[in-house]
Copies of this chain bind each other. A is one copy, B any other.
Amino acid sequence: MEFAGSHILSVEQFGRADIERVFDVADSMAPYAHRRKITRVLEGAILGNMFFEPSTRTRVSFGCAFNLLGGEVRETTGIENSAIAKGESLYDTARVISGYSDVIAMRHPVAGSVKEFAAASRVPVVNGGDGANEHPTQALLDLYTIGKEVQHRGGSIDGLRIAMIGDLRFGRTVHSLSKLLANFDRVHLTCIAPAELRMPGEIVEHLRARGHTVVESDAMESSIGHVDIAYSTRIQEERFASREEANLYRGRYRLNQAIYTQYCEPNTVIMHPLPRDSRAEANELDPDLNENPNLAIFRQTDNGVLVRMALFALVLDVVHLVDRYEAPVSWYTGKRFGE
């Protein structure tokens, strides 16, 4: 895959070599993201951070990644679709906004909209989530985190044993992550979901066709005993016909420290795409796990900055220049990233 000038729309663009390229660049971003030094390589460049649907975390992560490369951010936060409300097409919006920006990160509630927008854009577009369809940077940061976590424990993505837990039907992150994993070797995936929220058959078949093992279960405790990663997810309330229907499933799977201790291998990594639903009736990951060093959920969001920096540096073709524009950090940074 040629990154310079490309749109990043789908995990299906990424072969194994592309994924490894992104992860190598993400590694090289750590000194900047962790405030050991700064770089000004994108000074003068503008990110159009176009969130036509609210998502504070993802929006700020994209903006922060661009700032850390020295660029500026102009953005919209999803509330004021004035032009669209007046009948403007995505084509027009894309043509206009791409005249203001050097690269665009875009979230939109409608599946396929980011691809349609990108087709009209004059600058690279990074998909920040388009409805039920794709959220490729989330899948990449998840896989990057998996790689880091198992590497610290002497493993690798090849041969990975992972359980995905919860709403595997509507959860786009588990779909995209599964597709990325298919590029590696000998993955053992355990899908833990209520019968009504099972992983779509085509994803299961795709993995099996590539030689991976997929096991399905509707019971959590008996299925998380031999995995490297327990990847929990939120019930995607907004995809159900009603909140009442969604509530049939909220709280079905709850992982806490007692269950972890009783059922999991030591050092099993706990992940979640966030936000985790911490209300009593859901409580997917109990707060008593917060002190468990294997809870990797905040390392995921930290890694999101690295991965988004990497993608910006790749599509704007400045990877080789990042350290040429570097400078020391002079302010207080504390011990921020658990290093």
Chain A residues within 8 Å of B, Cβ to Cβ: 4-5, 35, 38-46, 48, 54-57, 60-61, 63-64, 67-68, 70, 72-74, 76-84, 86-89, 91-92, 95-102, 122-124, 234, 237, 274-279, 282, 287, 290, 297-298, 301-302, 305, 315-318, 321, 327, 329-334, 336-337
Decide: A275 near B327, CB < 8 A? Known: A102-B35, A302-B99.
no
Decide: A86 near B234, CB < 8 A? Known: A5-B332, A73-B74.
yes
Most chain B CB atoms below 10 A, which of A42, A72, A297, A331? A331
Q: Across the interface, which residues of B come within 8 angstroms of A80, CB to CB?
A: 54-56, 77-79
Out of B95, B276, B330, name the residue touching A88 (CB < 8 Å): B276
Decide: A76 near B102, CB < 8 A? Known: A87-B279, A278-B89.
no
Q: Across the interface, which residues of B come within 8 angstroms of A96, CB to CB?
A: 57, 274, 298, 301
Most chain B CB atoms below 10 A, which of A38, A275, A298? A275
Say whether A86 contacts B275, CB under 8 Å: yes
Q: Across the interface, which residues of B come within 8 angstroms of A124, CB to CB?
A: 332
Say whether B301 contacts A99, CB under 8 Å: yes
Say whether A315 contacts B301, CB under 8 Å: no
Decide: A275 near B87, CB < 8 A? Known: A327-B44, A334-B123.
yes
User: Which chain B residue lies CB-closest to A279?
Assistant: B87
Say whether A318 contacts B331, CB under 8 Å: yes
Say whether B282 contacts A87, CB under 8 Å: yes
Q: How far, in angstroms, from A276 to B91 measured CA to CA in the complex? A: 11
Say whether B44 contacts A68, CB under 8 Å: yes
Say whether A82 contacts B97, CB under 8 Å: no
Say whether B74 contacts A274, CB under 8 Å: no
State the oligomeric state as a number of copies: 3
Distance (Å) between the CB of A321 and the closest chain B CB?
A: 5
Q: Across the interface, which residues of B come within 8 angstroms of A297, CB to CB?
A: 92
Q: How far, in angstroms, from A45 to B301 measured CA to CA in the complex? A: 18
Out of B83, B298, B331, name the residue touching A99 (CB < 8 Å): B298
Say whether A330 contacts B336, CB under 8 Å: no
| 17 A-B residue pairings within 8 Å (CB atoms) | A4-B332, A43-B327, A54-B79, A54-B80, A55-B82, A56-B76, A56-B80, A57-B97, A60-B74, A64-B101, A88-B276, A88-B278, A89-B287, A92-B275, A99-B337, A100-B305, A316-B332
Q: How far, in angstroms, from A321 to B327 measured CA to CA in the complex? A: 15
Q: How far, in angstroms, from A83 to B305 measured CA to CA in the complex? A: 18
Q: Across the interface, which residues of B come within 8 angstroms of A298, CB to CB?
A: 95-96, 99
15 extra A-B contacts, CB within 8 A, seeds A5-B334, A56-B76, A57-B83: A35-B102, A45-B331, A54-B82, A60-B76, A87-B275, A88-B276, A92-B276, A92-B278, A95-B298, A96-B301, A99-B298, A99-B337, A122-B334, A123-B334, A318-B331
Say whether B330 contacts A91, CB under 8 Å: no
Q: How far, in angstroms, from A337 to B101 measured CA to CA in the complex? A: 12
Q: How far, in angstroms, from A96 to B57 measured CA to CA in the complex? A: 8
Q: How far, in angstroms, from A41 to B290 measured CA to CA in the complex? A: 35
Q: How far, in angstroms, from A43 to B72 measured CA to CA in the complex? A: 12
Q: Across the interface, which residues of B come within 8 angstroms of A321, CB to CB?
A: 330
